[in-house]
Structure 1
Amino acid sequence: MAGVDGADERYVVGVDYGTLSGRALVVRVRDGAEVGTAVHAYRHGVIETLLPDGGPALPPDWALQDPEDYRDVLRRAVPAALADAGVDPSRVIGIGTDFTACTVLPTLADGTPLCEVPELRPRPHAWVKLWKHHAAQPHADRINALAHERGEPWIGRYGGKISAEWQFAKGLQILEEDPEIYHRAERFVEAADWIVWQLCDEETRNVCTAGYKGIRQDGRYPSTDYLSALHPAFADFVSKLDGRLLPLGDRAGSLSARAAAWTGLPVGIAVAVGNVDAHVTVAAARALDPGRLVAIMGTSTCHVVNGAHPAEVPGMCGVVDGGISAGAWGYEAGQSAVGDIFGWFVEHAAPAGTASHERLTELAASQPVGAHGLIALDWWNGNRSLLVNHDLSGVIVGLTLATRPQDVYRALLESTAFGTRMIIEAFVGAGVPVRDLVVAGGLTSNRLLMQIYADVTNRPLGIIGSAQGPALGSAIHAAVAAGAYPDVHRASAVMGRVDEGAYRPDPDNVRAYDALYAEYRTLHDHFGRGGDDVLLRLRAIRNAAAAAPGEAVLEVVG
């Protein structure tokens, strides 16, 4: 606390923007000690059915947010964290932020979100599209098909498929469903960069989201010819993205008077370049060396690992030079639902008496591997890696009248570990080593789940030494941006923390899980790689049943 520290202590603030809330963390620069924290829940949360002011129902698979909720995190969480720390704001030298991604919004040239332009507020496409907005899957399919037809050189850097979550799919959806919004948008901005713009009144772009979410490779975006072939009016899309591109850890600018009034921080302190929640966590976990895969596990999971060279990994989200840290090729993959799956079961399927994670975990931990006789596919929110298809859905095989709630719960835990193993094997098969895992995020407290991951992947598993990994990572980058450390590697070595090898594979469990994983792979390939498209047909039937209100919305805004 400030009352104990010497008068020359310096601090930084990290702000982590999650799916439902924003977290602020005050960190001491000299050793990474976390001295104060606060959380502010978004007032509007995830907008999935109706816009805040009402209107027609949103179509299926939409997920929007209100940018004012992001500003409120600066107004509420940052001052509360400073108060919790008892730190004099004058001793804070920098602020860093991270965001979910791909979370994007259309704005005017000055950064004003289109949803804050009064006459555009009733238009759904004017709002922030959250990472889990999956309604652009048909547009992603066309982007991918045309890229392969033309032999575009960048498509291999994304495992052969661009996700429906990424910038180009969401931008193309706006153009085709509400062209007026598309043309009114002078800028199309990752929320990671927009919040930095709000802090320092300077528009910048970070190499992380530009590379992974914006198809920027080898210094270029996709060509105008390619974009025109997708849609003639899409030729100018890159002009809405392009801007001052900065590496991670750089200083984007200085805190403006307006943002200082929001946060209670001094005018002029360093504002770090924007970053992504998963990628910024690697520094907090001291996992910047190649071969250390960091799994940031929460509602979804993002898998990131540094490599020494570029490789094409089928189904990965991307590989970007400097995408995690300077001097390395950063690889990303992910699962679109993990904690959300467990939460769904507790909330909607577990009977009274077992409807808590704690009770289900306790019951599930008492059974041997394989005793439940079940295999599940972890596609409750589609598949991000390796299939890159958000129209897929979950599967549970092996249910009988003897199946108990804890059996299903354990099978769901295991399914997410099997999905992670698929990703690891894809990396290793393409020549990207994965020696061990470091896990961050809210799910690290579930000891059964962590042991399952160690056993299924047959790798030692470390646990990040912070409950706020992304916020700590953002604070580390803020310290570098403020000049307290020469680079992110050296700041990570001092300010990051990890409990190495907290979980070790159990040889008997490894063998048992090898047999179950073989069955998972069989089901994975059957339902996900063309053996039977029943999941896609079911999704089409569902969407057709909801099409009438969905079409009404698009007719109103188009």
Structure 2
Amino acid sequence: MRCTLGVDVGTSSTKGVLVADDGTIVASATRAHDVVRPRSGWVEMDADVWWDEFVSIAQELVSAMPDAEIAAVGVSGMGPCVLLADADDRPVRPAILYGVDTRSGAQIARMNDELGLDEITRIGGSALTSQAAGAKIAWVADEEPDAYAAAVRLFMPASWLARRLTGAYVLDHQSASQTTPLYDIENERWYEPWWQRYASSIEQPRLTWAGEIAGEVTAAAADVTGIPAGTPVITGTIDAWTEAVSVGAHEASDLMLMYGTTMFMVFTDAVATGEETLRTPSMWTTAGAFPGTRNLAGGLSTSGALTAWLKDLTDADYPQLLAEAEASGPGARGLLMLPYFAGERTPIQDPDARGVVAGLTLQHTRGDLYRAALEATALGVRHNVETMRAAGADIRRIVAVGGGTQGRLWMQVVSDVTGLVQEVPATTIGASYGAAFLAASAIAADGEAPVITDWNPIAETINPDPDLADFYDTLFDRYVRLYEASKDVVHELAAQQRD
């Protein structure tokens, strides 16, 4: 049986799938891991975890399906991350993760002063935020000069796997467009003046598109993984974009909504020659996964991480909490939560935001708190969607993906709060499946490329309850006002947490 292998390195786990030519998942494997938080606002991971878990998953899947012919390998991973490695590809420090790591505030302020906010946005598409990988490279240069002096190459999880498998030093355009301010989004290339200013000692990765073949599995990689030498490996990209591929949400006017440890949204805009790329300072403008596309993207810093925190705190399991949250009902019996427990990314771009629970009484229960957490993430999604639309995004279709889609209540709350219809595909395993699809597409003969809607048709539609529209309009207004009313005190507390 001919298959493609897809592996995605996520924030809390690495997932792998073997997928047959018709899109059927014939085997899967998962390895759980944790991030490291050495200081408030720092989120890191040892890159050895990425490779070790890839090897373990590949070995398991190959052993589970010994008759499978692995025709190509797809790779994917969280991002944008900053992994700097020396000339022998040894990491010089742990990888700095995406926008949940907020350490680069001083570098962002300096770059804004030196380059100008308008010019940064014009060249790179986005304002500098905690998501900007270029600012994190500058942080290493400023704060860990010995590590930076040893650094020669820049990787993210997908490109690190491609390097270890093939020896190719590549980065896809989508990931590169999040190394702000080092990438020129309109011309789809590294922006040489700013690369030389802020990353001059780092060799520039060769830029390719996510689904292009980076190289072939080497003999050394074949020995440890069990994947045959010579197997093509794609370049891959950041997991949210691979998730969008996995459900077909990469056409113009599609919005992918990813339910995971964090929540992520990707709106796809096809850009014709001479057409203006959508920009707004509070969101991220990026290159798409495919040539000729741009994305307006946003992300919540906590979603599944918040519900997991409540589960651990209350020593209850998810079925209990979901049943109690459903019984609590809309509005959580008068509770309103801000989900900013790890700062917030879009649209407020406030790394010093913190979680707030308003309206608590002695009568409230853990089910009320869990309901308030679900509604908080839904209100955060609505805030992002309304910001995208204000920037000109013509959102016509919402496709949901990710582990959180297994919980019907969460999706229903999001639809009710946002007023959005969500389409849920048959397979929601996410980025590993999208990586396998990209790999199958990369090796397909002309006219024989797989079609994602054949692989993964829509299986369910979640409709908002129109009777709740006015209620949630009022709650959303309170949500926005609560942040503005509490942020000064919260910022003082965040400063105290850093001391």
TMscore range, shorter length: over 0.9
SS at match of 1:12: strand
The amino acid across from 1:326 in the alignment is P
1:284 aligns with 2:246: yes
1:95 aligns with 2:81: no
Instruction: Work out the CA distance in 2 between the residues paired with 1:248 and 1:235.
Output: 27
The one of 57, 60, 65 equivalent to 2:45 is: 65
Q: Which residue number in structure 1 is paired with residue 122 of structure 2?
A: 154
1:344 aligns with 2:312: no
Q: Which residue number in structure 2 is paired with residue 20 of structure 1?
A: 12
The one of 439, 452, 466 equivalent to 2:413 is: 452
Shift of 1:308: 2.7
Instruction: Work out the CA distance in 2 between the residues paired with 1:206 and 1:142.
Output: 27
Tell me, yes or no, if the aligned pair for 1:257 and 1:267 is still in contact at 8 Å: yes
Q: Which residue number in structure 2 is paired with residue 46 of structure 1?
A: 35
Q: Which residue number in structure 1 is paired with residue 274 of structure 2?
A: none
Instruction: Work out the CA distance in 2 between the residues paired with 1:451 and 1:33.
Output: 27
Tell me, yes or no, if the aligned pair for 2:131 and 2:178 is still in contact at 8 Å: no
Instruction: Work out the CA distance in 1 between the residues paired with 2:332 and 2:132.
Output: 40
Instruction: Work out the CA distance in 2 between the residues paired with 1:487 and 1:539.
Output: 54
Give TM-score scaled by structure 1 length: 0.83
The amino acid across from 2:90 in the alignment is T
1:112 aligns with 2:90: yes
For 1:237-280, what per-residue CA distance to the aligned partner results, in whole angstroms no more than 9, with x for missing partners?
05526231111211111111111112211111110012111101
The one of 74, 89, 96 equivalent to 1:129 is: 96
1:495 aligns with 2:484: no
Instruction: Work out the CA distance in 1 between the residues paired with 2:308 and 2:49.
Output: 24
Instruction: Work out the CA distance in 1 between the residues paired with 2:118 and 2:263.
Output: 32
For 1:348-374, what per-residue CA distance to the aligned partner results, in whole angstroms no more than 9, with x for missing partners?
2x3x6xx22211211121234235111
The amino acid across from 1:39 in the alignment is T
The amino acid across from 2:338 in the alignment is L
For 1:451-501, what per-residue CA distance to the aligned partner results, in whole angstroms no more than 9, with x for missing partners?
01111111111123224211110001111222357697x542333333252
The one of 381, 385, 390 equivalent to 1:429 is: 390
Instruction: Work out the CA distance in 2 between the residues paired with 1:430 and 1:83.
Output: 49
Instruction: Work out the CA distance in 2 between the residues paired with 1:155 and 1:206.
Output: 18
The one of 82, 98, 115 equivalent to 2:62 is: 82
1:171 aligns with 2:142: no
Instruction: Work out the CA distance in 2 between the residues paired with 1:494 and 1:213.
Output: 34
SS at match of 2:257: strand
Shift of 1:133: 2.7
Deviates more, 1:13-22 or 1:206-215: 206-215
Instruction: Work out the CA distance in 1 between the residues paired with 2:446 and 2:31.
Output: 30
Q: CA RMSD in A?
A: 2.2
Alignment CA distance shift 1:147-1:496 (3 Å): farther
Shift of 1:153: 4.5
Instruction: Work out the CA distance in 2 between the residues paired with 1:197 and 1:485.
Output: 27
The one of 107, 121, 124 equivalent to 1:139 is: 107
The amino acid across from 2:71 in the alignment is I
Q: Which residue number in structure 2 is paired with residue 413 of structure 1?
A: 374
Matches within 5 A, 1:327-406: 327-348=292-313, 350=314, 355-370=316-331, 372-406=333-367
Matches within 5 A, 1:189-204: 189-204=155-170
Shift of 1:94: 0.2
Tell me, yes or no, if the aligned pair for 1:74 and 1:262 is still in contact at 8 Å: no
Instruction: Work out the CA distance in 1 between the residues paired with 2:61 and 2:232.
Output: 18
Instruction: Work out the CA distance in 1 between the residues paired with 2:448 and 2:395.
Output: 24
Tell me, yes or no, if the aligned pair for 2:257 and 2:266 is still in contact at 8 Å: yes
Instruction: Work out the CA distance in 2 between the residues paired with 1:79 and 1:468.
Output: 20
Shift of 1:524: 3.0
SS at match of 1:415: helix
Q: Which residue number in structure 2 is paired with residue 230 of structure 1?
A: none
Shift of 1:443: 0.9
Alignment CA distance shift 1:433-1:83 (3 Å): same
Tell me, yes or no, if the aligned pair for 1:106 and 1:186 is still in contact at 8 Å: yes
The amino acid across from 2:94 in the alignment is W
Tell me, yes or no, if the aligned pair for 2:278 and 2:296 is still in contact at 8 Å: no
Q: Which residue number in structure 1 is paired with residue 215 of structure 2?
A: 253
SS at match of 1:95: strand
The amino acid across from 2:309 in the alignment is W
Shift of 1:236: 4.9
Shift of 1:201: 0.8
Q: Which residue number in structure 2 is paired with residue 512 of structure 1?
A: 471
Alignment CA distance shift 1:339-1:152 (3 Å): closer
Instruction: Work out the CA distance in 2 between the residues paired with 1:214 and 1:259.
Output: 32
Q: Which residue number in structure 2 is paired with residue 117 of structure 1?
A: none
The one of 234, 242, 251 equivalent to 2:204 is: 242
Instruction: Work out the CA distance in 1 between the residues paired with 2:218 and 2:410.
Output: 44
Shift of 1:334: 0.6
Aligned residues: 490
Instruction: Work out the CA distance in 2 between the residues paired with 1:144 and 1:185.
Output: 25
Shift of 1:388: 1.6
The amino acid across from 2:307 in the alignment is F
Shift of 1:139: 2.3
SS at match of 1:533: helix
1:315 aligns with 2:282: yes
Alignment CA distance shift 1:73-1:441 (3 Å): same
Instruction: Work out the CA distance in 2 between the residues paired with 1:486 and 1:516.
Output: 50
Matches within 5 A, 1:209-248: 209-215=175-181, 216=183, 217-219=185-187, 220-222=189-191, 224=193, 235-237=197-199, 240=202, 242-248=204-210
For 1:118-172, what per-residue CA distance to the aligned partner results, in whole angstroms no more than 9, with x for missing partners?
xxxxxxxx222223332223323333454436744537721xx322243112111
Instruction: Work out the CA distance in 2 between the residues paired with 1:307 and 1:63.
Output: 31
The one of 377, 399, 406 equivalent to 1:438 is: 399
Instruction: Work out the CA distance in 1 between the residues paired with 2:480 and 2:467.
Output: 20
Give TM-score scaled by structure 2 length: 0.92
For 1:266-303, what per-residue CA distance to the aligned partner results, in whole angstroms no more than 9, with x for missing partners?
11111001211110111211222222211111110111
Shift of 1:191: 2.4
Alignment CA distance shift 1:455-1:147 (3 Å): farther
* 4+ long deviations beyond 6 Å: none
The amino acid across from 2:333 in the alignment is H
Alignment CA distance shift 1:153-1:313 (3 Å): closer
Q: Which residue number in structure 2 is paired with residue 551 of structure 1?
A: none
Tell me, yes or no, if the aligned pair for 1:166 and 1:214 is still in contact at 8 Å: yes
Instruction: Work out the CA distance in 2 between the residues paired with 1:247 and 1:507.
Output: 41
Instruction: Work out the CA distance in 2 between the residues paired with 1:523 and 1:436.
Output: 30
SS at match of 1:172: helix
Tell me, yes or no, if the aligned pair for 1:279 and 1:304 is still in contact at 8 Å: yes
SS at match of 1:468: coil
Tell me, yes or no, if the aligned pair for 1:98 and 1:474 is still in contact at 8 Å: yes
Q: Which residue number in structure 2 is paired with residue 36 of structure 1?
A: 27
Deviates more, 1:71-80 or 1:137-146: 137-146
The one of 174, 177, 188 equivalent to 2:154 is: 188
